[in-house]
């Protein structure tokens, strides 16, 4: 039997390799509500820097999770959306959001703020 190309401790590790980090799950979560432009991401995540946003979007695109569409207009318009492969993450991302809401309530009560409150029932 040939040697494996890659070895993981658990499949969770493979998932985190693609969506892990501070910003990737947030970017993907927002994309479950539709296409987004760069400025929309900046508005939704005001703390992220443009450099980090661009890097995270590129990595997600390289992994085949998001699609970048450039429109040939002036000024140039670029939109990001989930690929079919990316849509397979929707359920887990929304579950993470609901768990996070419960965790925030448990740990901080009304002493914490969540900037974006999209409907996660979908």
Q: What predicted TM-score, i.e. pTM, was given to this entire model?
A: 0.88
Kindly report the number of other CB atoms within 10 A of residue 101's CB atom. Answer: 13
Contact between residue 27 and residue 41 where contact means Cβ atoms under 8 Å apart: yes
Q: List the domain range (segments joined by +) for residue 89.
A: 11-108
pLDDT value at position 51?
97
In a domain, 24, yes or no: yes
* Domain-embedded: residue 22: yes
- Domain count of the chain? 1
Instruction: From first to last of the 122 residues of the chain, give the pLDDT tens digit.
Output: 788 888 999 999 999 999 999 999 999 999 999 999 999 999 999 999 999 999 999 999 999 999 999 999 998 899 999 999 999 999 999 999 999 999 999 999 989 988 877 654 44
| Residue 90 lies inside a defined structural domain of this protein | yes
- The confidence score (pLDDT) of residue 3 equals 87
CB 41: neighbour CB atoms within 10 A? Answer: 22
The CATH number of the domain holding residue 68 is: 1.10.10.10
């Amino acid at each position: 039997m040939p040697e494996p190309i890659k070895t993981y401790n658990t499949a969770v590790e493979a998932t985190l390799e693609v969506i892990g980090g501070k910003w990737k799950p947030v970017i993907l979560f927002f994309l479950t509500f539709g296409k987004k432009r760069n400025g929309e991401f900046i508005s939704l995540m005001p703390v992220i820097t443009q450099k980090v946003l661009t890097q995270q979007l590129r990595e997600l695109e390289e992994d085949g999770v998001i699609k970048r569409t450039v429109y040939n207009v002036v000024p140039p318009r670029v939109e990001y959306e989930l690929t079919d492969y990316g849509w397979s993450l929707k359920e887990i991302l929304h579950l993470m959001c609901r768990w996070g809401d419960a965790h925030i309530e448990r740990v901080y009560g009304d002493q914490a703020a969540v900037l974006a409150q999209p409907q996660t029932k979908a």
